[in-house]
Amino acid sequence: MIKEYDIKVIKSKNSVEILRYEKPIAYGYKTQCKPPMRKRPDCAQSRNIKKINRKHSNIRALNEMKRMIENNFSTDTALFITLTFREHITDVAIANKEFKKFIQRLRYRFGEFRYVAVIDLMKNGRVHYHMVADTSDENIDSIWGKGQAKVKPVYDLGRLGGYLGKHLFKAEDERMWGKKAILHSTNLDKAEILRGEEAEKYLKSRRALLKHKVYESTYDSPYNGKVEYAKFKQKPVKKKALPKKKSVILPVAK
């Protein structure tokens, strides 16, 4: 069944994002026919299309990564880890294999944990990793074993997401085409998405709690027209205090 919506709400652990679209978006349908054949672009045109698509993909990935960090980590337990290679490794596929082995060794040593990592490509071509994880910091350098592992505490999750985002946009490098710029564990809690009437109903019930706006913007989309975006810090629902029982003074027996 085809449905349409012009408002979307994204609920994270500590924030709520609201998007309003000028043109309704259809969803809940499946295409049964193949799109018509298009004229194949020349080599230069094809490269430009890939770069533009990659940039848009990185913006979506950046927002998703910030939600992952916000929903799954706290400054009390999160660690910021930077992994570099001793050898001059420029092949992303080879580097990813070593990173995967590192995650397996951590799990074997400390048990299950959560992580979000970004692949960073240095100016000299080397590959290294930045990651946030809620694992132990004991002997991280020796467990990595392929170079240097720097471990720092996390003081601000919002700034951390912005810092990782800077490295994310380096993923426009051709070596990253067809590869994931963000690596993460499969046990992460995801943000809840509400659309249409469901989103309106939620906002109506929570409007009094959505007063602290942290960011807003308006931009034009070739598909959705004018898009209004706003982000609020979500305050926890306060439970109603139970009425205090009146103390009863019993008469003293003579």
CATH class of 71-184: alpha beta
| pLDDT tens figures, 18-39 | 999 999 988 776 655 555 555 5
Question: What's the confidence (pLDDT) of residue 239?
Answer: 45
pLDDT for residue 151 is more than 90: yes
| pLDDT tens figures, 79-133 | 999 999 999 998 889 999 999 999 999 999 999 999 999 988 887 888 999 999 9
- What is the SS3 string spanning the chain? CCEEEEEEEEECCCEEEEEEEEEEEEECCCCCCCCCCCCCCCHHHHHHHHHHHHHHHHHHHHHHHHHHHHHHCCCCCCEEEEEEECCCCCCHHHHHHHHHHHHHHHHHHHCCCCEEEEEEECCCCCEEEEEEECCCCCCHHHHHCCEEEEEEECCCHHHHHHHHHHHHHHHHCHHHCCCCCEEECCCCCCCEEEEHHHHHHHHHHHHHHCCCEEEEEEEEECCCEEEEEEEEECCCCCCCCCCCCCCCCCCCCC
Query: Taking a C-beta distance cutoff of 8 angstroms, is the pair 227, 220 a contact?
Result: yes
Nearest Cα to Cα of residue 21 among 37, 7, 2, 35: 7
Cα–Cα distance measured from residue 196 to residue 9, given in angstroms and rounded to the nearest whole number: 9
**Residue 66: pLDDT band by 50, 70, 90 thresholds?**
confident
**What is the model's pTM?**
0.74
pLDDT-above-70 percentage for the chain: 75
Rounded to the nearest integer, the mean pLDDT of the chain is 81
Domain ranges for the chain, please list them: 71-184, 197-243
Cα–Cα distance measured from residue 37 to residue 55, given in angstroms and rounded to the nearest whole number: 25
**Residue 161: pLDDT band by 50, 70, 90 thresholds?**
confident
